[in-house]
């Protein structure tokens, strides 16, 4: 059986071409910075975001059966990379999407990927404990 959880976690992944802010004027850059700051702060105060970080553009990609391939990537010049993330703590997918729609970067081509963080199992820990008790 599955039990509805009252809150869940979603990951917002901010996808953009590495160049998206290159075309903005200093004034626009500041406006987006202010907006993004206010957005993140507001969500933090409401307890809706539990973590968030920017991701530096440089990185490596490890692949191969034994992890023998380590190459540079992804490249910022490539079509889309993930520039940062928010880990949301919200009631529903709808709420996560509503928050994603507020992203100030959208106006400049940023895309926000909304992914539910998969539950550990279909029962939440505390509910599982109660169940275990009742079966004891």
Partner 1 sequence: MGRNLLSRTLRIDMVASETLETDAPPGEIPQVVEHLFRHEWGKLVSRLTSIFGIDRLNLAEDLVQEALAKALQTWPYYGVPKNPAAWIMQVSKNLAIDYVRREKVFRDKEAEMISLLEEHNTDSDRSPSFAEEIKDDSLRMMFVCCHPIVPREAQVALALKILCGFSPAEIGKALLASEAAVAKKLTRAKEKIRSAGIPFEVPAGKELSGRLDGVLQTLYLLFNEGYKASSGPRLVREELCHEAIRLTSFLAEHPVGNCPKVHALLALMLFNAARLPTRSDCNGNILLLKEQDRSRWNRPLISSGMFHFSQSAAGNEISEYHIQAGIAACHCAAPNYQSTDWANILSLYDGLIEIDDSPVVALNRAVAIANVHGVAAGIEAVAGIRDRAKLDAYYLLYAVLGEFEAQLNHRDAAAGYFRRALELADTKSERQFLAKKLKASQQGVKEKNHKKGRALEAIG
* Binding region for partner 1 (CB under 8 A) out of 20-28, 109-117, 118-126, 127-135: 20-28
Q: Return the number of the residue (1 or 56) whose C-beta is nearest partner 1.
A: 56
Question: Are the CB atoms for 97 and 86 separated by under 8 Å?
Answer: no
Q: Count the site residues for partner 1 by CB under 8 A.
A: 23
55-114 residues in contact with partner 1 (CB under 8 A) are 83-84
Contacts of 131 (CB under 8 A, 6+ apart): 123
Q: Return the number of the residue (10 or 20) whose C-beta is nearest partner 1.
A: 20
Q: Nearest distance from residue 130's CB to partner 1, in Å?
A: 38
Closest CA to 114 of 101, 129, 127: 101
Token readout for 21 is: 């802010």
Question: Cα separations (Å) of 1 from 5, 44, 112?
Answer: 13, 33, 32
Q: Which residues bind partner 1 (CB under 8 A)?
A: 21-22, 24-30, 32-34, 36-41, 52-54, 83-84
């Amino acid at each position: 059986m599955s039990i509805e959880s009252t809150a869940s976690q979603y990951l917002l992944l901010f996808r953009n071409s590495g160049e998206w802010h290159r075309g903005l004027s200093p004034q626009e850059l500041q406006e987006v910075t202010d907006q993004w700051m206010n957005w993140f702060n507001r969500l933090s105060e409401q307890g809706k975001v539990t973590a968030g970080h920017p991701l530096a553009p440089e990185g490596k990609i490890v692949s191969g059966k034994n992890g023998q391939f380590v190459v540079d990537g992804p490249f910022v010049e490539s079509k889309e990379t993930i520039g940062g993330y928010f880990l949301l703590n919200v009631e529903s997918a709808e709420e996560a999407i509503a928050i994603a729609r507020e992203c100030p970067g959208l106006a400049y081509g940023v895309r926000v990927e909304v992914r539910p963080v998969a539950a550990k199992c279909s029962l939440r820990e505390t509910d599982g404990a109660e169940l275990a008790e009742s079966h004891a």
